[in-house]
Amino acid sequence: MNILDLSNHLQTYLVIGAVLFGIGFYGLLQRQTLIGMLISAELILSGASVNFMAFNRFLAPDPTVGQIFTLFIMAIAAAEAAIALSIVLAVYRNYKTIDAMEITDLKG
């Protein structure tokens, strides 16, 4: 496989989607602040979207379905970001911190 011909292979896109998912998962576990976790969640969603688009381009019988699914993922991600950030701001107003390890009012 020629390295300049990578964009014509399904596996390339599957690999970059899996890499995005893995990095996002690592960030989700490792981050301490709520905003950092949200950023990592966006990376995970991007990995899934890349997979959908790759299968749509190479395998799907109807090549509009994957694009439409990706557009819906984007809309849901935008809604999720808006809601999550207003929750973060509400948490910050009540606790004066967005560190996930310090918000422990319900901890047994």
Residues 14-53 that bind other proteins (CB under 8 A): 14-27, 29-33, 35-36, 38-40, 42-43, 46, 49-50, 53
Is position 103 an interface residue for other proteins (rule: CB under 8 A)?
no
Q: Report the distance separating Cα 48 and Cα 73, nearest Å.
A: 9
* 2 sits near other proteins (criterion: CB under 8 A): yes
Residue with tokens 């899996």: 18
Which of 94, 103, 106, 107: binder of other proteins (CB under 8 A)? Answer: 94
Using the minimum distance from each CB to other proteins, give the nearer residue, 62 or 105. Answer: 62
User: Shortest gap between Cβ of 105 and other proteins (angstroms)?
Assistant: 15
Q: Which of 70, 82, 13 minimizes the C-alpha distance to 45?
A: 70
Residues ≥6 apart with Cβ < 8 Å to 28: 37, 40, 41, 44
Query: Cα Rg for the chain, rounded, in angstroms?
Result: 18
- To other proteins, the closest distance from the beta carbon of 44 in angstroms equals 10
